[in-house]
Structure 1
Amino acid sequence: MSSKDDKKVEDDCKKEGEDDKSKPLHINIGDGSINFLPDWVGGSSPARFITAEEILSMNRTIEKMMIAHEIAVDPDFTIAKFTEPSTPLHRQVRDCLHKAYFDSLRDASFSNEESIKARYKEDMLDIFKTIRHQMLEVIPMSAITIQSEIKGLLDDEILRNQSDENIIDYYELTTKALTIVSKLCAANRDEMVGEALDEKELYEKIKKTLNVLKVMKIDYEDFALYQKRQLFMQHSCDYEREQFLKLLEVDKNAANITYQWLKKVFEGSEYSVLATLSNTEVSEVITQAYMCLLTQNPEEYPETFKFDEERLRKSSLEYYCLTILLTSIFIATNLSGKDIAEKKDFKKQLKRDLIALLDDLSFDNLKEKLESIYLQSNLEISKAAESFGSNHWSESQSKELKEQILSIENPNNPVRKIAASRISIFIQAIISERGQNNCRVPNGLSVIQDELIAMAKSFLYYVSHNRKTYGVLYGSFIDKMAKQS
């Protein structure tokens, strides 16, 4: 824009401002409108509006689904995982707020101002109301004597009268409350209760008492969950599915990635030419789709795996690591010869050494890891060869070992493809509905049997839950694809 144009804009603005100062200024930006975009650029307007309440409802639904899902798929789930701060910053903020609150109480207790003293009394009564409420929450209804003891000790009216007459002893009250609580605490909380009882400073004692009650509540909830876990497992799949279908009612595109994931697998399967599929054939397509998630490490995961993305990424990396491990062992034992390969504990020791090297393997650092794998494999073979004479491992064999180990970087390496195929076939058999009850580790995989079974077991656990939850939905998608093909 030239200086003349600048002057014209400035004059126009001044003129409009003089005409009506209550109106907004309008600056002429030319005839080329940027307020219009064709549908093919920005997309047409949505078919309906989504209200703020619907968005909040979706968020609440997702939170409930996440908790239900974690209980179902995590055998080590505890309530504490969802009650503790998720980040160090969150924890630090919480601790700072608690400290500031109790510091302000401590300061108020020394004040001579009537308004501050009155506020202090109310705050302290509120704290003991909270303690009373939390104690009654964790004490079983069947413990009638203890319930009565708590209600008598922390009766609201009695405490208010004592506060008004300035005869209330907050420290003694806290000690008595803790003594009652200690009768019902789990044995592993004795040390925590002991520290709270031994605390001499009032506000630290109150803080520790509240913490004991919080932990007790979690312990009781975890115990109740443990007792009813099987019952919960029976209903969690239905609950998750129902909630997901509710999300689909609000957002029809909420399963787009899921649909495309299944479509890609279906179109690449032998069943893509069929107009209708049997239940067994649908199940096999779903199993193949699960294997694609494991072996291909996609950038985007289906919406139905929203809560299992981290588990899937971990399983994919474990599969990748086992493939590299098995390929390396195949190459090393083949080149070392039968005598060395069958030497007692040779494969086990080589596996242990290579697992240590692959501990921090990622999808991006394979090349540098292969160099270390070669060096360690060469060292183990050389040590084993010493017992058979110098001719059992030559410099030329060492050079060939290096070339073959480094070639593992190529996904199309024939030995790597064999290793990947054998691992995949075993895992696919494990997670298929037909093969879960009777699967043997194939020949060649015995050296990594323990690691393979551990990985397959973990993968099976949450994939089985996913199949029970969304299998019907997947089936409807696949039926739709078959009819359209």
Structure 2
Amino acid sequence: MCDREGPSGSGSQGGDKGEGKRSTSQPMPTGSRGSSYFANEPLQFRVRGSTITGASPPKFVTLEDIMKAAHGMQNMALAHEIAMDTDFKLEPFEPPDNSYQKLVKETMHKAYFDILREQLNSDPPEYKQALVLLEDVKQGLFSILLPRHTRIREMIEEVLDADFIKQQAENNSLDFHKYAHFVVDLMAKLAAPARDEMIQNISTLTDTVDIFRAILETLEVLKLDLANTLIAMIRPHVQQESVHYERAKFDEMLQVTEDGLKHTREWLQRHINKTGLSIPVTDATIIRNVTAQTLAKAYLELLEWDGTREYPETVSLDAPRFSELGTQVYHLVVIASLMLVSPTCGTDNAAAARHKQTLKDKLYILLDNTANDIELKQILPSVAEEIILVTEQLLESLHQDPLTTDMKELIRTQVISLRDPEHRVRQIVRQRVLEFLEVILICAGGSRQVPVGLSALSRELTTVSGTLLRYVMHNKAVFTKHYLDIIAEELKLRVNGD
């Protein structure tokens, strides 16, 4: 295992949480004369950044087969995110600032409303674009309804009747404000309370074009809210069915790749321990035991992944999760090491316990943006000063003598020495943490005693182990058959090489 050197809408009734680096589809909205504001712009969503990549397809696989399998993998990735991330939600796609795509989108939307304003201000007024606008609004309202909202749907059809509105336009009696009031009132009833302010702001507008532009933008937000509400509703079902679904989609991908398990096989082979085995191994029980032990070590490698290696195909969807969890383990090891070399942390009394908690909280804040030894080296001098400060506060509260100059210098030296990943204290703490996690994975949970020297971080260690176990159990449920086959074949083939 490598050392960590180097960088490593709220729903309509649903939750709200922002989240980070994700891949997105990228629409190109249009706004030509008579076209829809939405312009075939699909509902955008973000998925945690990861992909499944296979080897080059064999010669006799059709392009249709490959595209079908790729589409299946996209669906699998989305289902996997919904099942694994309880805070997963769809988010609006916004092109990067100053990007060509953002420029095109803003230009086309501006052109849409400029045409509308120009037509309405002409003498006599022209309503061609206005009719398109009201139809857009009508479809937008339909998009935020649930199937049970039949009466509301009928009311929308009646009020926003296209033929009647067209007759009003031909007779120059089309009252935009009346329709705007109806739409805003209906949105207020359908939207979550969190959107009340957004809808109320529409009522403060006086310009007809600005009102309907705000209505369309709000409808897009409400459409996303509804989608997130539905995701929250179906999540239990997705979680229940995702194992079978992911397994089926992955197997479809394997059928159109020469070796879709190449990197998975290499990953497992590095961790097979044949000590004491009589090769070839054919006993199913022994193979299962070897597989369990192999997988435990292999999953731990993901927490300290060497970026020069290709990531295993079967865990690629969770690569960001294992990376994030690896950073948490890194923080845990470093903070535990810092506390072990800090004075008074070895004292066992109430004041010392409060001191440990205070010091731990401060260290987590200081190391929040630290993910590797290069970054750690830069902040250790500041960490040393913080440890000195917290220690002096403890001594003062206990009415003891303050730290001497020599003692302060000793603390600085001990703290800064932890920049070395081979430091004895760091090595011992890391070993204890990984051994604890390995036992958890092999035994699939259960009650385990916190390793010596880590009692102050028992809550953090428990959280990490629980999260890791959840990721691993889902992955094993989907791919255990492939893991067993790979290891069984490896144990069988080794006899030919011995």
Place the TM-score, normalised by the shorter chain, in its bin: 0.7 to 0.9
Q: Residue 323 of structure 1 is aligned with which of 333, 339, 342? A: 333
TM-score by length of 2: 0.77
Which residue type is aligned with residue 365 of structure 2? A
Q: How many matched pairs?
A: 431
For the pair 1:219 / 2:225, whether they are aligned, the reply is yes
Map 1:140-159; keep pairs closer than 5 Å.
Answer: 140-159=146-165
- Aligned residue in 2 for 1:473: 482
Quote the Cα distance in structure 1 between the aligned partners of 2:95 and 2:245.
25
Structure 1 residues 126 and 54, CA gap change in structure 2 (3 angstroms): farther
- Kept in 2, the 8 Å contact 1:131–1:210? The answer is yes
- Kept in 2, the 8 Å contact 1:297–1:316? The answer is no
Pick which of 89-98 and 157-166 moved more.
89-98
Pick which of 259-268 and 322-331 moved more.
259-268
Quote the Cα distance in structure 2 between the aligned partners of 1:69 and 1:420.
31
Structure 1 residues 382 and 181, CA gap change in structure 2 (3 angstroms): closer
Structure 1 residues 258 and 400, CA gap change in structure 2 (3 angstroms): same
- Aligned residue in 2 for 1:451: 460
For the pair 1:418 / 2:428, whether they are aligned, the reply is yes
The SS at the match of 1:362 is coil
Structure 1 residues 74 and 47, CA gap change in structure 2 (3 angstroms): closer
Q: Residue 75 of structure 1 is aligned with which of 76, 82, 86? A: 86
Which residue type is aligned with residue 160 of structure 1? K
Measured on the aligned residues, the alpha-carbon RMSD in Å equals: 3.1
Q: Residue 199 of structure 1 is aligned with which of 202, 205, 210? A: 205
Q: Residue 256 of structure 2 is aligned with which of 250, 259, 263? A: 250
The SS at the match of 1:365 is helix
The SS at the match of 1:166 is coil
Structure 1 residues 455 and 141, CA gap change in structure 2 (3 angstroms): same
For the pair 1:308 / 2:318, whether they are aligned, the reply is yes
Pick which of 50-59 and 191-200 moved more.
50-59
Give the number of the structure whose alpha-carbon radius of gyration is greater.
1
Deviation for aligned residue 1:388: 6.5
Quote the Cα distance in structure 2 between the aligned partners of 1:308 and 1:92.
34
Deviation for aligned residue 1:50: 6.0
Question: 1:427-459 CA deviation, whole Å, 9 max, x = no partner?
Answer: 334444x33243443342221123333333333
- Aligned residue in 2 for 1:463: 472
- Kept in 2, the 8 Å contact 1:295–1:319? The answer is no
Quote the Cα distance in structure 1 between the aligned partners of 2:207 and 2:225.
27
The SS at the match of 1:109 is helix
Structure 1 residues 95 and 58, CA gap change in structure 2 (3 angstroms): farther
Sequence identity of aligned pairs in percent? 26
Which residue type is aligned with residue 326 of structure 1? A
- Kept in 1, the 8 Å contact 2:57–2:256? The answer is no
- Kept in 1, the 8 Å contact 2:58–2:256? The answer is no
User: RCO (CA 8 Å, sep 6+): is it higher in 1 or 2?
Assistant: 2
Structure 1 residues 428 and 379, CA gap change in structure 2 (3 angstroms): same
Quote the Cα distance in structure 2 between the aligned partners of 1:339 and 1:445.
14
- Kept in 2, the 8 Å contact 1:287–1:431? The answer is yes
Q: Residue 382 of structure 2 is aligned with which of 347, 372, 375? A: 372
For the pair 1:291 / 2:300, whether they are aligned, the reply is yes
- Kept in 1, the 8 Å contact 2:437–2:465? The answer is yes
The SS at the match of 1:85 is coil
TM-score by length of 1: 0.78
Deviation for aligned residue 1:324: 0.9
- Aligned residue in 2 for 1:42: none
Which residue type is aligned with residue 325 of structure 1? I
Pick which of 400-409 and 89-98 moved more.
89-98
- Aligned residue in 2 for 1:6: none
- Kept in 2, the 8 Å contact 1:141–1:147? The answer is no
Q: Residue 427 of structure 1 is aligned with which of 420, 437, 445? A: 437
Q: Residue 407 of structure 1 is aligned with which of 417, 421, 428? A: 417
Q: Residue 209 of structure 1 is aligned with which of 205, 209, 215? A: 215
Whichever structure has more helix as a proportion of its residues is 1
- Kept in 2, the 8 Å contact 1:266–1:272? The answer is no
Quote the Cα distance in structure 1 between the aligned partners of 2:306 and 2:252.
29
Pick which of 319-328 and 45-54 moved more.
45-54
Deviation for aligned residue 1:404: 3.3
Quote the Cα distance in structure 1 between the aligned partners of 2:278 and 2:120.
77
Q: Residue 126 of structure 1 is aligned with which of 125, 132, 144? A: 132
- Kept in 1, the 8 Å contact 2:280–2:491? The answer is yes
Deviation for aligned residue 1:152: 0.6
Q: For structure 2, which runs of at least 5 residues remain unmatched after alignment?
A: 1-55
Deviation for aligned residue 1:399: 4.3
Deviation for aligned residue 1:329: 0.8
